[in-house]
Amino acid sequence: MEPPIGFVTLRDAADIVAWVGKGWWRLGGTNFYVIEAKLNPEIERVIKTIADACESGQLTAAYRSITGATALDQTVWQRPNWRTYFSAGTIDLLLPLVDENGAPDKRGDTTKCTREIFIRQDGLDRFVAGLTRPKTKHLAASKQQMREMLKKYEATLSPGEGPSVDAFVAFANKDGLTGHRDRLREIYRKRYPDRRPGRPSE
C-alpha cells in the first residue's frame, strides 16, 4: 500500500538520508539481524541519525490510522527496540478498539496493533538539505539540467536496482540542485510514467 500523501516510508527515508554518506545500499536488501545487532557502522549511523531526529521532533514520524496518518509520540524512539522499526519498517502500538463507525470503544479497551511507520516528506527534504548543505543552483536550473541530473542519478543505480523519485530528489539536492522538488518530480514522472511516486521498482 502506498504511503499517505505527504509521507514516505521509514525505510525509504533511510535510503534518502544515506545519500549523505558513502558505501550505502538499500535497507530492502539488508538482513534484519545486521540492523538489530549493529553489525554495519554505516547503517547504524544512518538509522541513528533518523531516530535522533524523530525523538527530538526534527522529523515527524507517523503511522497509518483510520483518519490517514497519526503522528507517533516522540518517546517511542526511546524504546530499546527502536532498531526493529527499521528492520521491519513497522511498530507495535497499543491502540483503542473502535466500533463500526471508527469511534473509540466506550469501554476503553485496547489491542496490540502493528503499523507501518512513515516520515513526513517536507520535513525530510529540509532535514536532508541541512545535512548536505549544498551549494544552491536555485534560479539557473533548466529542464535540460534536470534531465541531465536524472541521467547522473540513473548512472549510480546498481544492475537490477529500480529508481525512486524520492532518492532522485535527494541525489539532486546533494549535488546542489535545491529548491526544485516539484519540477524534479515532474521530470521523473515523464521518464517513468508507470512508476509509483516514492517507491522503488519491484
User: What pLDDT does 61 receive?
Assistant: 97
Write out the three cell numbers for 48. Answer: 541513528
User: What pLDDT does 84 receive?
Assistant: 96
CB 111 within 8 Å of CB 97: yes
User: What pLDDT does 101 receive?
Assistant: 64
User: What pLDDT does 202 receive?
Assistant: 35
Which residue's C-alpha cell is 527530538?
A: 56
Tens digits of pLDDT across the chain (202 residues) = 789 999 999 999 998 888 765 445 567 667 888 899 998 888 898 899 999 999 999 999 999 887 789 999 999 999 999 999 999 999 999 887 766 666 666 676 778 899 999 999 999 999 988 875 444 444 346 778 888 889 989 989 888 888 999 889 888 887 777 777 888 888 998 888 876 544 444 3
Which residue's C-alpha cell is 507517533?
A: 72
Q: Is 103 exposed, middle or buried, given 0-12, 13-18 or 19+ CB atoms closer than 10 A?
A: exposed
pTM score of the predicted model: 0.60
- DSSP notation for 36-78: HTT--HHHHHHHHHHHHHHHHTSS-EEEEETTEEEEPPGGGGG
Q: What is the Cα–Cα distance from 60 to 51, expressed in whole angstroms? A: 10
SS3 state at 194: coil
User: What pLDDT does 108 receive?
Assistant: 67
Q: What is the Cα–Cα distance from 119 to 146, expressed in whole angstroms? A: 25
Q: Is 188 exposed, middle or buried, given 0-12, 13-18 or 19+ CB atoms closer than 10 A?
A: buried
User: What pLDDT does 138 receive?
Assistant: 45
User: What pLDDT does 137 receive?
Assistant: 45
Q: 165-174 and 121-132 helices cross at what angle (nearest 10)?
A: 30
